[in-house]
A and B are shown apart, each in its own frame.
Chain A
Amino acid sequence: SQQGEEDPQALSIQEGENATMNCSYKTSINNLQWYRQNSGRGLVHLILIRSNEREKHSGRLRVTLDTSKKSSSLLITASRAADTASYFCLALAAQGAQKLVFGQGTRLTINP
């Protein structure tokens, strides 16, 4: 695996607005995953996008992948207070060890 780098480090928006977070990585990947972590808890897997996919939806989540730019974005539509959490991306290479290395994450705050 390789470490994805999330951007921005922190994001604060009003409830109901859309939130967009970005992830960049360095080498070719097999798939990219997004995880959420509520304060003081373990990480929860949100969505996975394979390298041959460009966009994927799950409920209010939309993930895009641009392999030419080695980047991904996570869009949360119609944000809710419960979406307040840290979000991490995980870029997995096709070969080699898969030790699941996380970046620093994006800290999302939804204001009521």
Chain B
Amino acid sequence: DTGVSQNPRHKITKRGQNVTFRCDPISEHNRLYWYRQTLGQGPEFLTYFQNEAQLEKSRLLSDRFSAERPKGSFSTLEIQRTEQGDSAMYLCASSLAGTVPEAFFGQGTRLTVV
């Protein structure tokens, strides 16, 4: 499978616990994006990387959220001290940098905080 892969697909956690999601982009893609999506809404931008550099982080992202892409390949998104409001689908996408960056999305990780 040469597409964008996200793990796990589903995660149920208790409020206050930490969770970590992983995204494996398409191998030659140097850009990687994280989004959060709730029911009936469009994907909400969280952050994106070019190679290992985190170029931008949404102001919506509290300090409980952190993302890394240590070697410019896979990325992790960690949420500390989860809250019920964190329940959402977390989407990852990758693309090549350039003027025509077609983005390829993974299937997402659905987080439920109980």
Interface residues of A (CB under 8 A from B): 30-31, 33, 35, 40-45, 48, 50, 86, 88, 90, 92, 94, 97-105, 107
Q: Out of B55, B102, B106, B110, name the residue touching A99 (CB < 8 Å).
A: B55
12 intermolecular pairs with C-beta atoms under 8 Å apart: A30-B100, A35-B103, A42-B4, A42-B105, A45-B102, A45-B103, A86-B42, A92-B101, A94-B99, A98-B97, A100-B45, A101-B45
Q: Is B41 touching A41 in the complex (CB atoms < 8 A)? A: no
Docked pose: A48 CA to B101 CA in angstroms = 10
Q: How many residues of B contact A (CB 8 A)?
A: 28
Q: Is B42 touching A30 in the complex (CB atoms < 8 A)? A: no
Q: Give every chain B residue within 8 A of A30 (Cβ-Cβ).
A: 99-100
Q: Give every chain B residue within 8 A of A43 (Cβ-Cβ).
A: 43, 91, 93, 103, 105
Q: Give every chain B residue within 8 A of A98 (Cβ-Cβ).
A: 31, 97, 101
Q: Is B42 touching A103 in the complex (CB atoms < 8 A)? A: yes
Q: Out of A42, A50, A105, A107, name the residue touching B106 (CB < 8 Å).
A: A42
**A/B pair count, beta carbons within 8 Å:** 65
**How far does the Cβ of A12 sit from chain B's closest Cβ, in whole Å?**
15
**How far does the Cβ of A50 sit from chain B's closest Cβ, in whole Å?**
8
Kindly identify, within residues 1 to 53 of chain B, every residue whose CB is under 8 Å from any CB belonging to chain A.
4, 31, 33, 35, 40-43, 45, 48
Q: A31-B100, A97-B55, A97-B56 are in contact. Are A104 and B41 (CB under 8 A)?
A: yes
Q: Is A40 touching B93 in the complex (CB atoms < 8 A)? A: no
- Residue in A88, A100, A103 whose Cβ sees the most chain B Cβ within 10 Å: A100
